[in-house]
Amino acid sequence: MKPRTIAHISVLMANIIFALNYSVVKYVSPALLKPFGLNVARVLVTTSLFWVMAAFEKTALLPRRKDLPLLVICSLTGVVINQLLFIKGLSMTYSTHASLMQLSTPVMITIVAFFFLGERITILKAIGLLLGISGSTLLIMSKEHQGGGTHVMLGNILILLNAISYAFYFVLVKPLMSQYTPLQVIRWVFTLGSMVIIPLGWSEFIEAPWSAFSMTDMAAISFIVLGATFFAYLFNMHGLRHLKASATGSYIYLQPIIAAVVAMLFLSEPFTTAKAVSGMLIFSGVFLVNLRS
């Protein structure tokens, strides 16, 4: 099989895992593990595995001292704020809402890049931003009363803040990616982030009734910790080595579709007109923002 074919399969698998993760997280949190406790499990296992992989790398283990402040900021935006708000927000809203809100991340990246990097916004991008923001606003304001959402509006807002946080991380991490390997950067971002997440969520982590969990419960937790946090990253990283960023990024459009179908089948989430209209606005906005002349 050709390397490019394997790369496409890797990126496809990563996005399928991310799409399934929305419903799996809803199953696990808060019923089995509270949101912050689930994040402790994620960073503990993932950070450990990244350090195990360091034994097979022929690169320096420690970053340069001058890069530490930027690594700390990236760990806060890319791991701490990003992951804490994602799990907490998803536990309060619907899987479909969360997947659509996450799709607005490229729109947020464009806004952050405009203010902090001075990147030009064309007329098409401006229209895309307006459509994406309109879709997100409509989704936040929509009211539903079935399908597993408890505080839908607040949950949607947390997911949006999570997308904004990741947009800052995406822009800020670029200089580091030019000086270190992707694995070096993500290893230190997770390591520094775990120093904040573990103290914040430790009480929720240890109060979970681990011995009472069924095989299904542990399989769901393992899927989140290993599949959606560790392996999905490796799949994406492999794809980026052989494909252009635009080709890799295009697979994100699959996530809301798969997430919506899974949520309707297994979580009884309704697919409403508001979701359909919001989805069309966000899809169109992301498409125009990423459109190149």
- Give residue 293's pLDDT band: very low, low, confident or very high (50, 70, 90): very low
**pLDDT tens per residue across span 239-276:** 877 777 656 767 877 888 888 889 888 888 877 888 88
Residue range(s) defining the domain that contains residue 18: 3-54+64-290
The answer to whether 234 touches 52, Cβ cutoff 8 Å, is: no
**pLDDT tens per residue across span 94-133:** 888 888 888 888 888 888 888 887 888 888 888 988 888 8
Whether residue 59 lies inside any domain: the answer is no
Whether residue 113 lies inside any domain: the answer is yes
| Number of structural domains found in the chain | 1
**pLDDT tens per residue across span 186-202:** 899 999 999 999 999 99
| Percent of the residues in the chain that have a pLDDT greater than 90, as a whole number | 40
Whether residue 111 lies inside any domain: the answer is yes
Whether residue 131 lies inside any domain: the answer is yes
| Percent of the residues in the chain that have a pLDDT greater than 70, as a whole number | 94
Whether residue 195 lies inside any domain: the answer is yes
